[in-house]
Copies of this chain bind each other. A is one copy, B any other.
Amino acid sequence: MPDNFDKFNDECGVVGVYNHPEASNLAYLGLHSLQHRGQESAGIVSSNSRQLFSHKGMGLVADVFSENAISELHGTSAIGHVRYSTAGASHIRNAQPHVIEYARGALAIAHNGNLVNARHIRDELEAYGSIFQSDMDTEVIVHLIASSKENSIVDRLTYALGCVKGAYSLVLQTENRLLAARDPNGFRPLALGKLKDTWVIASETCAFDLIEAEYVREVEPGEIILIDENGLKSFKPFPPAPYTPCVFEFIYFARPDSNIFGANVYEVRKELGRALAREHQVEADLVMPVPDSGVGAAVGYAEESGIPFDMGLVRNHYVGRTFIEPKEEIRHFGVKLKLNPVKEIIQGKRVVVVDDSIVRGTTSRKIIKMIRDAGAKEVHMRISSPPTVSPCFYGIDTPTDAELIAASNSVEEINKYITSDTLGYLSLGGVYGAVKAGGDSYCDACFSKSYPIEVSEDTKKAPQLALFKEGA
C-alpha cells in the first residue's frame, strides 16, 4: 500500500455506482477506500438521467467533498476518481473525471493506467483540427469517442479503445448509462460488485467492503461493460491478448485487504515473504518490516524462518506535507520524520529487515543506518521482489532508469551502498510461485525489462503531453 515514501507513486483509483438513491455518497466512500491510490486530487461526476453534475478538487477525498458538495451531485448514478501525479502536472485541470460535451451529449470518464501511444494519436487528431485542453492521456480517448462514426456508445468506445495502446481501467458516465472497460492485457485491476439492485465498479474490492457491496467478479481484460435501465451487458470486442496484470500491484500497490486478479493481496505478500525466507535464509534474532508496506512479507518471512517477528520501526502517520529542516542538518531527516526505531527491541540483535522494493536506494540506506544507530548487531535486508531495473509505462510512476539503483548496480553493489550486512532480493521465480493464486502470467517489466506492449521512444522520453503550464 503506497505510503508516501520516495518510492513509486501510484496513478489512480476509480469507482462507479449505478442505480442507487445516494450514488454520489457511495462513490465518495468508495474513493475514501481507494485513497491510497491517489492523494493529489479527487472528483465525482453524477447523473440524474438528464444532466451530469461534477465536483472536483485538489487534495484528499475528505477535504474535497463537503456534505453540501455531495448533496449537489444529484442522481442515481455516479463515477469517481482519485489521482496522484508528479509535481509538474499537478493541477485541477488534470483532475478527473474528465467531463465533455460532444454530438451525443455529455460524457465523463475516469481512468487508471497509462497509454503508450497518446502522443502519437494526439498529433494525428490535432492534424485533423482537434484541440486539447489538458495534459491527460485520457483526453485522447474522449476525442476518439467523439470522432467515431459509430452509432452506439459501446461501438464508439470500442472504436476509441481500438486505437489506443497501453493500460486502462476505465469508468464512464453518460446521462443515462454507466460503462466500464479494461484493456486486453488487464494491467490494472477493476472489479464488479453488487449491493442489492445497485451495480458497483471499483479499482479494488476494499471499496466494496466499506459500502457493503458484494464482489461479483473482475471486469475481464478486454471487456466493456454497459449498465443501463436494461441491466448489465458485457462486450468482448477486442482480439484476445496475453493476460498480463501488474505483479507490482500485489507486491506494493494494492491495499492488503483487497482481492485483485483473483487473490488476496495480504496473503500473496505473506507468501512472498515465505518464499523470500526460503531463498535468503540467514541466522538472525528478529524479523521486522519497514511499515506499512513490508508488514505482510515480514510476517510471512518470520513464519517460514521461525525467527520472531516484531515491529522494530514505529511509523508516524501524521506525515503528509513537507517539513522544515534545520540548517544544521539532521541525519536521515526525511526518513526520520516517518520512522523511528525502537532501540530496546533492536539493541544487540541480528535483524532481518523486510521491505517490498528498493527504488533509489537512499531510503533503504537511511533506514539501515538508523537501525544500526539503534544498536543492531547485524542488518540483513530482504526485499520481497526482484531488483527494479526498468521504469513502468503502464501507470506506475517509477523514476527513470538513471535514478533506479538496480538499473546500473549489481546486488552486491547495492548491498554495499545501502550498508546492509547482506541483501537478498526475491527471485522472479519466487515471485511467480507466490502469486500463482492470482494466475500464472503477469507484467513484470520493471523487473525483467520485458514489456508486454511496445513503448515508443517518444513516450519514454516525454511523459508530459502539454505545451503549456498552469499555476497551482
A residues with a Cβ closer than 8 A to B are: 21-22, 25-26, 28-29, 32-33, 35-36, 39, 45, 51-56, 60-63, 65, 67, 69-70, 72-73, 92, 99-103, 105-106, 108, 123, 126-133, 142-143, 146-148, 175, 206, 209-212, 255-257, 259, 264, 266-267, 270, 292, 295-296, 299, 303, 308-311, 314, 316-321, 323-328, 330-331, 336-337, 340-345, 465-471
> Closest residue to A256 on the B side, CB-wise?
B314
Q: Is the CB of B129 within 8 A of A54?
A: no
Q: Is the CB of A63 within 8 A of B256?
A: no
Residues of B within 8 A of A340 (CB): 33, 206, 209-210, 255, 257
Q: Taking A100-B133, A103-B126 as contacts, is the C-beta distance between A323 and B468 under 8 angstroms?
A: no
A sample of 16 inter-chain contacts (CB < 8 A) reads: A25-B324, A29-B323, A53-B470, A56-B471, A65-B324, A102-B126, A102-B129, A126-B146, A129-B148, A209-B340, A256-B342, A259-B344, A266-B314, A266-B342, A266-B344, A270-B310
Q: Is the CB of B266 within 8 A of A99?
A: no
Query: Which secondary structure dominates where chain A touches chain B?
Result: mixed
Q: Taking A52-B468, A299-B311 as contacts, is the C-beta distance between A344 and B264 under 8 angstroms?
A: yes
Residues of B within 8 A of A39 (CB): 318
Q: Is the CB of B311 within 8 A of A267?
A: no
CA distance A92 to B57 in the complex (A): 11
> Closest residue to A210 on the B side, CB-wise?
B336
Q: Is the CB of B206 within 8 A of A22?
A: no
Given contacts A51-B467, A126-B146, A212-B330, 15 further A-B contacts (CB under 8 A): A21-B327, A22-B326, A26-B326, A29-B326, A29-B337, A36-B316, A62-B318, A63-B321, A69-B471, A73-B471, A101-B126, A102-B126, A106-B468, A255-B314, A257-B340
Residues of B within 8 A of A143 (CB): 129, 131
Q: Is the CB of B316 within 8 A of A32?
A: yes
Minimum distance in angstroms from A67 CB to a CB of chain B = 5
Q: Is the CB of A343 within 8 A of B133?
A: no
> Closest residue to A295 on the B side, CB-wise?
B311
Minimum distance in angstroms from A135 CB to a CB of chain B = 9
CA distance A292 to B108 in the complex (A): 39
CA distance A62 to B325 in the complex (A): 12
Residues of B within 8 A of A470 (CB): 53-56, 99
Q: Is the CB of A323 within 8 A of B32?
A: yes
Minimum distance in angstroms from A315 CB to a CB of chain B = 8
Residues of B within 8 A of A92 (CB): 92
Minimum distance in angstroms from A189 CB to a CB of chain B = 16
Minimum distance in angstroms from A295 CB to a CB of chain B = 6
Q: Taking A310-B299, A321-B62, A468-B54 as contacts, is the C-beta distance between A131 and B102 under 8 angstroms?
A: yes
> Closest residue to A303 on the B side, CB-wise?
B308
Minimum distance in angstroms from A320 CB to a CB of chain B = 7
CA distance A466 to B175 in the complex (A): 13
> Closest residue to A132 on the B side, CB-wise?
B101
Residues of B within 8 A of A468 (CB): 45, 51-54, 99, 101, 106, 108
Residues of B within 8 A of A321 (CB): 62-63
Residues of B within 8 A of A344 (CB): 259, 264, 266-267
Residues of B within 8 A of A299 (CB): 309-311
Residues of B within 8 A of A72 (CB): 471
> Closest residue to A74 on the B side, CB-wise?
B469
CA distance A311 to B148 in the complex (A): 50
Residues of B within 8 A of A36 (CB): 316, 318
Q: Is the CB of A54 within 8 A of B342?
A: no
Residues of B within 8 A of A256 (CB): 311, 314, 342
CA distance A469 to B54 in the complex (A): 6
Q: Is the CB of A467 within 8 A of B257?
A: no
Q: Out of B106, B146, B324, B331, name the residue touching A67 (CB < 8 Å).
A: B324
